[in-house]
Structure 1
Amino acid sequence: MAKEKIVLITGASSGIGEATAKTLVNNGHKVILTARREEQLNQLVAELGSDNAMAVAADATDFTALENVVTKGIEKFGRLDVAFANAGMGVSTAGTEKGDPDEWSTMIDINIKALLWSAKLTLPYLRETTGHFILTSSAAGRKPIGGSIYGATKWFAYGFGQNLAEEMSEWNGRCTTIAPGMVNTPFFDEAKPDKLDPQDVADAVLFAIEANQRNSVREIYLMPTN
């Protein structure tokens, strides 16, 4: 089995983050979980066991609050091997002309700024362990979608992941950008039979971090088969 990894996950209270936390612990890793919803985080820690998981509720768009998460995680586990920047959101009104600027601002804070904060705060610790940064972009960050401001934020995430991989390679760190198509999570209201499952993304994260250290899995692009 691969060496035990200490993994920080943002957006961990449901969907992809929750599935990833369970998958990693079931495969012998330990997790530091953060999201805004404290009750759900505490339930997840109770399920996974306090030896394997800890939670610190925080808003990932708040640099100081996220810094506290990283600090507390290091205090408990002593190191950080992987950071998974997964927190994100979409908007209710599509298009530029009809879009809501306030909603855009909130989305940019979580999809872009929280990603930057996560990298800025974890990189010093990842450098110490020759660690791994993983981020959730989207299939929407790889192709033009008419009027999609959400897609544009994921273009940023996609480009940032590629650039960060180059930056981290200077000290043999690894960076993986995961770009899934539509995933069946609370993120999307409409039910579609051809969505991916959060487990599919969790499996991708596990694959990336357990790959041999010589192998930097730069990108994983997932689409529903149908």
Structure 2
Amino acid sequence: MSQRKIAVVTGAGSGIGRNAALALAKKEFVVVLAGRNEQTLKETAALAGGAQTLAIATNVTQPDSVAQLFEKIKTAFGRVDVVFNNAGTSAPPVPFEELTAEQWNAVVAVNLTGAFLVAQAAYRVMKDQSPQGGRIINNGSISAHVPRPNSAPYTATKHAITGLTKSLSLDGRKYNIACGQIDIGNAATTMVSKISTGAVQANGSLLAEPTMPVDHVGEAIAYMAGLPLETNVQFMTVMATAMPYIGRG
């Protein structure tokens, strides 16, 4: 069994998940890369150079798939020390009255139910392992605080992640399980590429918004992950300094 700390990153095939996985690998974590696309997970693993990684194709919306992920991790490494609960999706930015139930349910399935399933599976491992405990870091987003126009499913699920984070922080205390949340604003990934050319504002206008290098997000997550379990970053907001967050609404 490995003596190095084991970190699990969901949505590790691209964007913030990939960057977080690489940042954790640099901090000498063994990184388990979870996501639906096995090919992009392998690409992340290749970018990690000689770091120890394990790519496991996983659909976070499926309880059996999540259970298999953590069984494979236990078999390979014997424990789980850190989980970055990152997998997420969004609905098309259509007017609220035009949202379909299918669009709503698809976002809830990944962003909320998926986060719950991964957190619960990790929690069970962390509770039972020796030494007991571990850390769960949830990806909240600026939308856990304030919405963009036409973003009800995403915003609602990210507000719910804050409730999940607080509940896990309380319930995990007796098992030495820490839970924190990182809320990220305008990191330069393909998901937010349109923001730098023009994002819809509350008054309906288009505004090109500042972005920040995604590397700063990975560094922040690695900092949270590297703390001893008696210390926790409960909530962290990392964002482009000049983005319209303060004053947005």
* Aligned equivalent of 2:142: 139
* Aligned equivalent of 1:205: 221
RMSD: 1.9
User: Cα distance, 1:171 vs. partner?
Assistant: 2.1
CA distance in 1, matches of 2:68, 2:103: 27
Q: Contact between 1:32 and 1:53, CA under 8 Å: does it hold in 2?
A: yes
Moved more, 91-100 or 45-54: 45-54
Q: Contact between 2:85 and 2:138, CA under 8 Å: does it hold in 1?
A: yes
Q: 1:202 to 1:51 in 2, by over 3 A?
A: closer
Q: 1:144 to 1:43 in 2, by over 3 A?
A: closer
Note if 1:67 corresponds to 2:105.
Answer: no
CA distance in 1, matches of 2:68, 2:50: 19
Q: Contact between 1:6 and 1:30, CA under 8 Å: does it hold in 2?
A: yes
Moved more, 96-105 or 63-72: 96-105
Q: How does 1:24-173 map to 2 (within 5 A)?
A: 24-48=24-48, 52-127=52-127, 128=129, 129-145=132-148, 147-149=150-152, 150-173=154-177
Moved more, 204-213 or 31-40: 204-213
TM-score normalized by the length of structure 1 = 0.91
CA distance in 1, matches of 2:164, 2:70: 21
Q: 1:132 to 1:103 in 2, by over 3 A?
A: same
TM-score normalized by the length of structure 2 = 0.83
User: Cα distance, 1:49 vs. partner?
Assistant: 5.6
* Aligned equivalent of 2:200: none
Q: Contact between 2:93 and 2:151, CA under 8 Å: does it hold in 1?
A: no
Q: Contact between 1:90 and 1:187, CA under 8 Å: does it hold in 2?
A: no
Instruction: State the structure with more CA Rg.
Output: 2
In structure 1, the gaps of 5 or more residues are none
Q: 1:181 aligns with which of 181, 185, 195?
A: 185
Deviation digits for residues 187-222 of structure 1, max 9, x if unmatched? Answer: 234141512333222112111121233211111112
Q: Contact between 1:135 and 1:176, CA under 8 Å: does it hold in 2?
A: yes
Report how many aligned residue pairs link the two structures.
224
CA distance in 1, matches of 2:147, 2:26: 37
